[in-house]
Amino acid sequence: MLFNSLEYFFFLPVVVLLYYLIPFRYRWGLLLIASYVFYSYWKVEYLVLILFSTAVDYYAGYKIGTESQPQQRKVYLYLSLFVNLGLLFLFKYYNFFAAEFLKFSGNSEYSKDFIHQLILPVGISFYTFQTMSYTIDIYKGKQKHERHLGIFALYVVFFPQLVAGPIERAGHLLKQFRLKTKITFSNFHFGFLRILWGLFKKVVIADRLSFIVNEVFNNIEQYNGLHYLIATVLFAFQIYCDFSGYSDIAIGSARLLGIRLMENFKRPYLAASISEFWHRWHISLSTWFRDYLYIPLGGSRVVKWRWYYNLFITFLISGLWHGANWTFIIWGALHGAFLMVENIIPRRTREFYNSFTPKFVQVSIVFFLVLLSWVFFRSNNIHDVFYMSSNFLADNWNMSVNVRGQILYIGQPLWRFTGSISLIGILIVVDLLIERGLISEPDFVRFNLVKRWLVYLSLIFSILFLGVFELNEFIYFQF
């Protein structure tokens, strides 16, 4: 069930209404059933996998929390890690590594066994990471094991954040399922606003930009360097609006139920360094890799060469997490390299740069580096990256009338396209206002009725008149 579908906007109000009508002791059960219904909407078969994962991690967490022998606790931790990483490898990476091995061995025939008929289950990269963090935190003594199987199952499958995060920690989410939340106007106002804002970013900006981005990246031979540049810039806003839009709808949906999910984005394109970018982009994943990979490897409290190694390996694996394709691996490697260079530069040089370089210039440089990495992320394969690179400056940057018409008008009237492009400006202005502390959640809640509904109606009419209503999945669903 997609967040941008009519089904979801019938489903959510029904769940919220029943949630506040039924007695408190039954609420977890309602949310659990609703979450399984939500997830099974894609394929009922997916439920088998997530139920299996839930059972294994509940059992492993229980044993880790109750066993007194360190060796036994480690065995059950390894059980959890083996099952979750095994599921990821089986469904997400087996075909990739098998194909690469066969290529390397000189065997061009790729056998078609049953494994190739399996489809990547929706959300598997997210809920496996969420459950692994649970068992690891119990092992480290940071989290008590959850005795209530139903509450734990809800932690795994809670529908607002199940498919594409935020990747929540047990210490933050589990306790909220036991809180006796009441209906508050602030929760409803904020939740409704975040859902509308997320939907606006998804269907008005991201899906509208996808027409051009897909046209160029799927037909690179027909375009030149200028089109590659335009498409890459538009993709930067497409993926930001698509993914942060999903997070907004997830956060807003949970807030209607009185549950607070962590913020996943904090205006990443206003970052003045690559390290700052990763404190603002997909925060739940970057902090997961920090806590469960980078720090266990030694973090920065090691000799310099080892520190750089830890950085690079963390981002290389982060790229692989996004997908079984060399484009994602190189994307991760690029960000690892950017961070290595950033830390190799002497501290005094960095201080001089930060003091005398205008913030706008710093932000522009970071945005350029991020754009460079997005070329790899969006390209269908490495061959396309090489083709675009070799033709980027070689071709005459002439946007002919015919090509301009082809790229701008594909699948959409001109007025809708230009309207969506202009609304990127509103997105940037809102991000700047929030960044400077000029608007915030409490400010909106304090608005009078007229002001609030003016905001609501502006978003609703923008969605209705400029939105794309073909059901386009969120980009991160494929991960």
CA 255 to each of CA 12, 171, 249: distance values in angstroms, whole numbers, following the listed order: 12, 18, 10
DSSP state, 170?
H
| DSSP H helices in 169-282 | 170-173, 185-199, 207-218, 225-256, 274-277
Peptide bond preceding 160: is omega within 30 degrees of 0, i.e. cis? no
CA 101 to each of CA 110, 119, 329: distance values in angstroms, whole numbers, following the listed order: 10, 21, 17
- Beta-carbon contacts of 384 under 8 Å, excluding residues fewer than 6 positions away, are 217, 220
What is the sign, positive or negative, of the torsion defined by CA atoms of 453, 454, 457, 458? negative
| DSSP H helices in 323-413 | 326-344, 347-356, 359-378, 382-391, 401-409
282 is catalytic: no
Biggest CA–CA distance in the chain, Å, is 74
Query: Which of these is catalytic: 145, 227, 282, 322?
Result: 322
Residue type present at position 48:
V
Q: Catalytic residue numbers?
A: 322
